[in-house]
Structure 1
């Protein structure tokens, strides 16, 4: 019995220490530019250790692009495009957009229901080719995405989601909206080994992030939900049409 109590106490203490570590990391981010995130480090490990298909006995080379630039050196076009595309209520909510989250849950439930109906109605083509998985729609705000990428792993569990909410509230309580957006734009993934606005602007448009036009910024913003996918599909019709839509919405995007 004592052994169980001791183990439980150790788990509680470890949990408290972990939360304290997270709080200190967030507090430090108010004045110190984060040089890497948990997600970036996991991606660096993946890229460095993955097998090169052309040479099966050798691991891949580390492909990495990132350069921190201050808020003032990131085009307002990109800031507006990202807010319009990812989180149009960014400056007004307190970290979580409950309305957007509810809509995302409803869309995902509907998509899963439609997928289940298709699975129960087998056809000749479905026997030859499996039905596509239902498209999952996210409802995460910019602050939630930063909390996940900055400090958490990529696993999808209720415990990790709960931790994400706690860290989101801590970010909102500790950092200004301007600082949250600055860190997000400097650390978010924009391709395989491409992180941050400056690296993305140089990689896709061969110019600094400060000089991005409205359309160029919109194209980058549209890539964010699936950056690796769109990196290999730069001529996608969806990418172009969605970017034009975001350009039209950028005028109403409010900056912190």
Structure 2
């Protein structure tokens, strides 16, 4: 390091690069540990669940196998959140580009996260935004896509997603909102649950407001397209 001091600014940049590489390698090691851990184990506690508990909410989650979740809900979240789920490797670069172009044209910056990215965020990371969180999210998303079948990613996603009022996971949401198991959700109920995912503590399904009703109707139409065009085959055939 003494040699780097003699190089002035260039030495500082080299030092920053060295520490940056070390940070990335350490981050990758930690992410790989947890990704391997949850390849088969249920994810029954997340940072967001802990936060909701600290905020005084009663957190309810019941982990269930994907076999015990209605295919209607799988198709609904693909239709609503990530229609290219079966085709991408964790990132939808086309959607990212479109979101950036819309922002440059004066529209509000919208999310372009895939179900895989949301799974990484919900299962492994802390809530919030910012460049550091996005870098860490990517460090989990890519190896998760390599090591997990899509079916497992969907299973984790549907078991840790927040549905408001301290409800986490499809089973808790289905029981509380509709009084039935997640495996018995109808197309309408599944579309309603998928519709409120972006803002589960603001939008309601019991009863749904005008926006949720309209949006859920669109989701139901897209669900038929998902099924007819085989956009869900990676979930049901893995």
TM-score calculated relative to the size of structure 1: 0.77
Tell me how far 1:138 sits from its aligned partner: 0.9
Q: State the match for 1:84 in structure 2.
A: 79
Partner Cα separation in structure 1 for residue 169 and residue 101 of structure 2: 32
- After TM superposition, the structure 1 = structure 2 runs for residues 1-256 of structure 1, keeping only pairs within 5 Å, are 16-45=25-54, 47-48=55-56, 62-111=57-106, 134=108, 136-231=109-204, 234-253=207-226, 254-255=231-232, 256=235
- C-alpha deviation, 1:14, in angstroms: 6.3
Deviation readout 1:65-118 (Å, 9 max, x if unpaired): 110110100000000000000000001111001111111222233345xxxxxx
Unaligned runs of 5+ in 1: 49-61, 113-133
RMSD of aligned C-alpha atoms? 2.4
Cα distance in 2 between the residues matched to 1:232 and 1:63 = 19
Specify whether residues 232 and 74 from structure 1 end up closer, same or farther in structure 2 by C-alpha distance, changes over 3 A only.
Answer: closer
Q: CA deviation at 1:246?
A: 0.9
Q: Which runs of 4+ in 1 moved over 4 A?
A: 7-15
Alignment partners' CA distance in 1, 2:106 and 2:175: 37
Structure 2 segments unaligned to the other structure (5+ residues): 6-11
> Are residues 166 and 21 of structure 1, via their aligned partners in 2, closer, same or farther at CA, if it must alter by over 3 Å?
closer
Aligned position for 1:120: none
Q: Residue by residue, what CA displacement relative to the aligned partner does 1:38-68 show, whole Å, maximum 9, x if unpaired? A: 22222322x23xxxxxxxxxxxxx3121101
Aligned residues: 218
Cα pair 2:64 2:171 within 8 Å, conserved: yes
Q: Take 2:101 and 2:201, find their aligned partners in 1: how far apart are those partners?
A: 27
